[in-house]
Amino acid sequence: MVKLFQRSCLILLGLVGLQFSKLACAAIDPSAIDNSFVILQYHHVDETTPDVTSLSNEKFIQHLQLIEKLGFTVVDLAEAIDSVRTGKALPDKSVAITFDDGYKNIAVQALPELQKRGWPATIFVNPGLLTKSPSFYLTWDELKYWSKHKMTIANHGWEHDYWVRNDAATNQSWQQKIKQSITKTELAIEQHIGYSKKLVAYPYGEYDTWIQDWLKAQKLVTFGQQSGAVAQFSDFTALPRFPASGIYADEKTLTTKLLTKALPVDYNLLPSPIVQPNSNPPSLQLKLLTAPVNPLNCFIGGKAEMDLQKLSATEYKISAKQKLEKGRSRYNCTMQTKQNGRFYWLSQPWVID
């Protein structure tokens, strides 16, 4: 059904030219809307590492039990991306598991527990760090071993550098440095593991329009750490993941997140997360790809200090009432689906200098 719809969009594209066809294809096949999956993001699985990015082995195993209990299928990240993009139906409850930074502690119990269940996961690594501190990070030999047991090894930049800064859009040498960090990592993975799955996780989850444009041209699929689910209409240069460590390890809120679907909006219209000083608080415009099934609710930091204007039947403008504080922030928007307890979810990250 989705494929058929895409094909008719392509035929339209040929017949009427790019401008109009983009408009025509903006309406979406209803069967693509709920064909989505969520991604969980972990860092350390250890009790001696920083709370904010850690959870215990015991808690991690409880998460796996929760995934089982809720009837989820644990999917391979690259395969699931391919499925949503091409319109191949995924199980209604699908989840992919990811680990950032490649810490050694994930191999103590977390990876063996996944292996025991035959479940895949993806490990995003920094080649420049893992060779410097082999007692702290998984080594290439260890990563090679896990790559033979359903774990995908993927790109997290050479040394976990910051990739965004205010003047980056016009700073060629900065851009060159970041591009090198990504391509060098891609080459190292190919050399040591034997493949490149073309999957990149942004260090600190931070991104900007110029990096997205370049990644798209390189056909690299990229992940942030804003929340939400992945569907055919997602922005594949800024895919959402739900952090599941620290305060986010709580099973009740994790259940709600696991059951989310991607809010069906035009992701091409989302702004860069970099907030310039003269546009704080930033405004977010959302255009639904279908008629709303329920009211849209938006919040910031769990509190409803937002202005939400409905511009038309499918368009909204959202803005915080006060200036956002320096650092990282996000607007979250949800809409109840037709199924009780399941929400469409979108998170827009902001970086304020």
Q: Distance (Å, rounded) from C-alpha 204 to C-alpha 100?
A: 10
Q: Distance (Å, rounded) from C-alpha 26 to C-alpha 18?
A: 12
Q: Measured from the CB atom, is 157 or 264 closer to Zn ion?
A: 157
Count of residues engaged in binding Zn ion, rule: CB under 5 A: 2
Q: Can you say how many angstroms the Cα of residue 187 is from the centroid of all Cα atoms in its chain?
A: 23
Q: Measured from the CB atom, is 101 or 266 closer to Zn ion?
A: 101
Angle at 150 between CA 147 and CA 152, to 5 degrees: 55
Q: Distance (Å, rounded) from C-alpha 108 to C-alpha 319?
A: 44
Of the candidates 154, 271, 273, the residue with the CA atom closest to the CA atom of residue 222: 154
Q: Measured from the CB atom, is 43 or 261 closer to Zn ion?
A: 43
Q: Measured from the CB atom, is 29 or 100 closer to Zn ion?
A: 100
Q: How far is the CB of 202 from Zn ion (least distance, A)?
A: 9
Provide the 3-class DSSP secondary structure of residue 92.
coil
Contact criterion met (CB below 8 Å) for 163 and 178: yes
Q: Measured from the CB atom, is 100 or 208 closer to Zn ion?
A: 100
Residue closest to Zn ion, measured at CB? 100
Q: Distance (Å, rounded) from C-alpha 298 to C-alpha 314?
A: 15
Looking at residue 72, the DSSP 8-state letter turns out to be P
Would you list the DSSP string of 283-299? EEEEEBSS--SS--EEE
Interaction pattern, residues 86-105, with Zn ion; x per rule: CB under 5 A: --------------xx----
Q: How far is the CB of 168 from Zn ion (least distance, A)?
A: 19
Q: How far is the CB of 63 from Zn ion (least distance, A)?
A: 19
Sole residue written with tokens 């804003």: 226
Q: Measured from the CB atom, is 163 or 267 closer to Zn ion?
A: 163
Q: Measured from the CB atom, is 127 or 264 closer to Zn ion?
A: 127
Q: How far is the CB of 124 from Zn ion (least distance, A)?
A: 7
Q: Distance (Å, rounded) from C-alpha 18 to C-alpha 286?
A: 22
Q: Measured from the CB atom, is 76 or 100 closer to Zn ion?
A: 100
Q: Distance (Å, rounded) from C-alpha 184 to C-alpha 155?
A: 10
Q: How far is the CB of 141 from Zn ion (least distance, A)?
A: 22
Q: Measured from the CB atom, is 74 or 123 closer to Zn ion?
A: 123
Of the candidates 239, 334, 254, the residue with the CA atom closest to the CA atom of residue 286: 334
Spell out a b/e string for 253-282, using b for 16 or more CB atoms within 10 Å of the CB, else e: ebeebbbbbbbbbbbeebebbbbeeeebbb
Q: How far is the CB of 160 from Zn ion (least distance, A)?
A: 6
Q: How far is the CB of 1 from Zn ion (least distance, A)?
A: 38
Q: How far is the CB of 225 from Zn ion (least distance, A)?
A: 9
Interaction pattern, residues 98-137, with Zn ion; x per rule: CB under 5 A: --xx------------------------------------
CA distances to 80, 85, 231, 255 from 88, rounded to whole Å, are 9, 8, 11, 25
Q: How far is the CB of 158 from Zn ion (least distance, A)?
A: 12
Q: Distance (Å, rounded) from C-alpha 282 to C-alpha 97?
A: 31
Residues in the site for Zn ion, rule: CB under 5 A? 100-101
